[in-house]
Amino acid sequence: MNKQSLRDIKREETARDLAEAAFELALERGLDGFVIDDVVQRARYSRRTFANHYSCKEEAVAMAALTFQGYDQAEDFNLPETSSPLDALQQWMKMQLTANLLWKMRELVSLSKRHPTLEPYILSIFHRLQSSAQEALNDLYKGRYSEGYTHLLAGAVYGAMLPIVDGSLNVLLPGDSIAENPGITTFDQYLETTFGYLRNGF
Q: Structural domain boundaries of the chain?
A: 1-64, 65-202
Give the pLDDT score at 175. 76
Q: Which of 103, 122, 120 is nearest to 174 (CA)?
A: 103
Q: How many residues are listed for the chain in this entry?
A: 202
| Mean pLDDT of the region 145-171 | 89
Annotate 31-55 with three-state secondary structure.
Answer: HHHCCHHHHHHHHCCCHHHHHHHCC
State pTM to two decimals: 0.84
Please report the sign of the dihedral spanned by the C-alpha atoms of residue 189, residue 190, residue 193, residue 194: negative
pLDDT average, residue stretch 108-131: 93
- Which amino acid type is present at position 135? E
What is residue 71's predicted lDDT score, i.e. its pLDDT?
Answer: 41
Q: Per residue in 69-100, pLDDT tens?
A: 544 455 556 677 788 899 999 988 888 888 88
CATH number of the 1-64 domain: 1.10.10
pLDDT at 59: 96
Q: What percent of the chain has pLDDT above 90?
A: 50
